[in-house]
Amino acid sequence: MKTIAVLNQKGGAGKTTISTHLATALHHTGRSVLLVDSDPQGSARDWAAVRAEHPVSVVGIDRPTIERDVKSLAKVDFVVIDGAPQASDLAVSAIKAADFVLIPVQPSPYDIWATEDLVDLVKQRIEVTDGKLKAAFVVSRAITGSNISKDVSAILEDYGLPVLESKIFQRVDYPGTAARGSTVIEDFPRSEGTREMLALSAEIESIILEQEVV
């Protein structure tokens, strides 16, 4: 079982959109997946509740006991944690539970600066685990046709964590499908949104598998 934590303590970075799509993408490729909603606001749980039957199981753990509670859950191939904003104790717990930490960041200097404390927490955990924990940024809510995401990727590299090649763009289909408790992967399988989310899932999975081989 591998655990992916999607974290950013600043709201609006697209954590829940990425978490729900990442869980769905992994399910789409035949993996067994559990989505953990660690946000007290319960956005991922609300997303799942819209549908009577949902392909992805969602549970809520919004206490700083995530690393312990995840171990007691039914064994699956992947656990995806939708992180909570502005809650350092929950972030620390999610980091301890994770094999891979994904940090979505909007292409804005303010959003980059806001990740500094989280990056410090992640680096501390990487050191404690002798590098077993892997982490990376992903540019989220990028604007199509803008070069700013390239500039942001260059700036993020100074933080000492890799930046994934995959990028997630701002698309009206994301909130539209969320309102139906769905994803673009299910509703618009040939869309650019589906392509970028599947690419993100594949890139993360390849890093995790590479880690196992090493």
At the fourth CATH level, the homologous superfamily of domain 2-213 is: P-loop containing nucleotide triphosphate hydrolases (3.40.50.300)
User: In this prediction, what percent of the chain has a pLDDT beyond 70?
Assistant: 94
pLDDT over threshold 90, residue 150: no
Q: Are the C-beta atoms of 49 and 181 separated by less than 8 Å?
A: yes
pLDDT at 149: 58
Question: Strand pairing partners for 57?
Answer: 34
Predicted confidence band at 152 (pLDDT cuts at 50, 70, 90)? confident
Is the pLDDT reported for residue 211 higher than 70? no
Judge whether residue 52 has pLDDT over 60: yes
Taking only the tens place, the pLDDT of each residue in 187-200 is: 999 999 999 999 99
Q: Is the whole-model pTM more than 0.85? A: yes
Question: What is the structure's pLDDT at 5?
Answer: 98
Per-residue model confidence (pLDDT) at position 22: 98
Say if CB 56 and CB 23 are below 8 A apart.
yes
Q: What is the pLDDT of residue 156?
A: 85
Q: What is the pLDDT of residue 70?
A: 93
Sign of CA pseudo-dihedral 123, 128, 131, 136: negative
pLDDT at 94: 96
pLDDT band at 95 (very low <50, low <70, confident <90, very high): very high
Give the CA dihedral 2, 158, 166, 110, nearest 10 degrees: 100
Rounded to whole angstroms, the Cα distance separating 153 from 145 reads 15
